Amino acid sequence: MEIEKDNELMEKIVSLAKRRGFVFQGSEIYGGLAGTWDYGPLGAELSHNIKDLWWDFFVRKHEENYGLASSVLMPEPVWEASGHLEGFADPMVECEKCKRRFRADHLEEVTEDSSKCPECGGAFGEEKAFSQLFPVEMGSVEGSKVNAYLRGEIAQGMFVNFKNVLDTMRPKLPFGIAQIGKAFRNEIAPREFLFRVREFDLMEFEYFTREEEWEEHFEKWRKEMWEWIDLVGITRDSTHELEVSEKDRAHYSKRTIDFEFDYPFGRKELYGLAYRTDHDLKKHMEHSKVDLRYTDDEGERFIPHVIEPSFGLGRTVLAVLVSAYREDEIGGEKRVYLAFKPSVAPIKAAVFPLMKNKPELQTKAREVYKDLKKAIPQIMFDDNGNVGKRYRRQDEIGTPFCITIDFDTLEDDTVTVRNRDTAEQERIQISELEPYIKEQIETKK
């Protein structure tokens, strides 16, 4: 289904992200490097929160799931075995006139007549495969250089360490190996902000199971993926499952469900859930000559099958931003705010002295701020402009609570806590602040 494109919304989000320190163009002062984006101070907090939530939800809460942090650089034989050297390519066409390149399978999306260049109307040459892997030459001595690649997916880190995890942790089937880390793809046409980039973080696990049990585990993780979508604050109604047809599936997959999201630029992939069979372990066993079989309690040796839930961090950040973006009116004035869940909000609470130039308010506010920051690190101090302006600034970065220290505070140790979504204020004892905010973070998860 085609959804209505909302370029204006996308522009507002990109501009807010830049203006408020969430996301900057990579290497911007040198004109920017296409397909790279840098997280600014607030984006870094937001993405750390998302990664932490993911790690807790999918790794630490499951006793059979194990963490991993493997290298970005992996030698050519890994990619030969996995099939990426041959199969990880996009069909590409080049315009004979302006020499611009386009993904053949995306042309219909960007132009009405896919036989002509959308930029200059020129004719296309023959379709060619274009590898997405980034090659790297390792070592400095000629003749002893190693051909390596920046990993195109993080899954291969899990497969090449399968035996190490088996030998050290002695897990029983079914079990998972998970990691969060960078992947690199030489995309022909990076675009749509964080959606299609050349360097991105993935959060992913390989869940190893007996072949006959793959469907059961596929269903289990499919349900947990929906729970995650709620947990992180992605609008459920804007998320849709798509059963990927055989011709569109990756070379290793026997079944794939894409979780698609209604981005302002259209409905596109957010996450993937794939049944990778025993393809990868089998190929690595053939190529490395290392026995990668699992031995069960009866002494039977076999290669387990794999279910892979895969989550792009950048696409998550984008979907969370789109889901949280709100415009409303308070007291006749328009406001923009990000309705982040408290658990993902980069700043949980901001502390203000009612007036900047009253030393007794400053001292008290600093004290409250310092104490609170010890218990909840993502706290900000702000004394710029008037309180109304500070509320607007905090609303725009999605801070759920603003705490104001006023003259009454000096008398009775109470403060005003203002709620981002309702703009309502309540009076709370300073000693209650920490449990109050912590409870909100927990219950709104």
Residue closer to ligand ATP, measured from CB, 309 or 353: 309
Contacts of the segment 101-106: beta carbons below 8 A, 24+ positions apart: 101/130, 101/188, 101/189, 102/188, 102/189, 103/188, 103/189, 106/189
- Residue 394 CA to residue 134 CA, distance in Å, equals 40
Contact between 310 and ligand ATP by CB under 6 A: the answer reads yes
DSSP conformation letters of 112-161: SSTTB-TTT-PBB---EEEE--EEEEE-SSTTS-EEEEE-S-SHHHHHHT
Q: Indicate whether 432 belongs to the interface with ligand ATP (CB under 6 A).
A: no
* Closest separation in Å from C-beta 259 to ligand ATP: 8
Cβ neighbours of residue 201 under 8 Å, at least 6 residues apart?
47, 51, 180, 181, 182, 183, 312, 313, 314
Tokens of 141: 């001595």
CB of 51 to ligand ATP, least distance (A): 14
Angle (CA) 268-270-275 rounded to 5° is 110
CB of 153 to ligand ATP, least distance (A): 6
Looking up tokens 């993911």 gives: 54
Report the residue from 39, 252, 271, 275 that binds ligand ATP according to the rule CB under 6 A. 271
Taking the complex as a whole, how short is the minimal distance between the CB of residue 316 and ligand ATP, in angstroms? 8
Nearer to ligand ATP, 197 or 387 (CB): 197
Residue number with CB closer to ligand ATP (193 or 401): 193
Q: Among the candidate windows 46-54, 157-165, 166-174, 196-204, which touches ligand ATP by CB under 6 A?
A: 196-204
Phi (first) and psi of residue 97, to 5 degrees: -90, -60
The residue within the footprint of ligand ATP, chosen from 45, 94, 187, 278 (CB under 6 A), is 187
Among 40, 157, 174, 314, binds ligand ATP (CB under 6 A): 314
Asked whether position 197 contacts ligand ATP by CB under 6 A, the answer is yes
Asked if residues 277 and 225 have their Cβ atoms less than 8 Å apart, the reply is no
On whether the CB atoms of residues 162 and 78 are closer than 8 A, the answer is no
Q: Which of 40, 264, 272, 353 binds ligand ATP (CB under 6 A)?
A: 272
Single-letter code of the amino acid located at 109 = E
Question: Which segment (65-73, 165-173, 197-205, 218-226) binds ligand ATP by CB under 6 A?
Answer: 197-205
Q: Does 309 bind ligand ATP (CB under 6 A)?
A: no
Q: Is 202 in the site for ligand ATP (CB under 6 A)?
A: yes
Q: Which residue has the CB atom at the shortest distance from ligand ATP?
A: 312
- End-to-end Cα separation, the chain, in angstroms: 31
Which residue's CB is nearer to ligand ATP, number 308 or number 406?
308
CA-based radius of gyration for the chain? 25
CB of residue 203 to ligand ATP, shortest distance in Å: 9
Residues that bind ligand ATP (rule: CB under 6 A) add up to a total of 14
Amino acid (1-letter code) at residue 99? K
Q: Which among 72-80, 295-303, 307-315, 410-418 is the span making contact with ligand ATP, rule CB under 6 A?
A: 307-315
- Selected from 151, 185, 341, 348, the binder of ligand ATP by CB under 6 A is 185
Find out whether 37 and 199 touch, Cβ atoms under 8 Å: no
Q: Which residues bind ligand ATP (CB under 6 A)?
A: 185, 187, 196-197, 200, 202, 269-272, 310, 312, 314-315
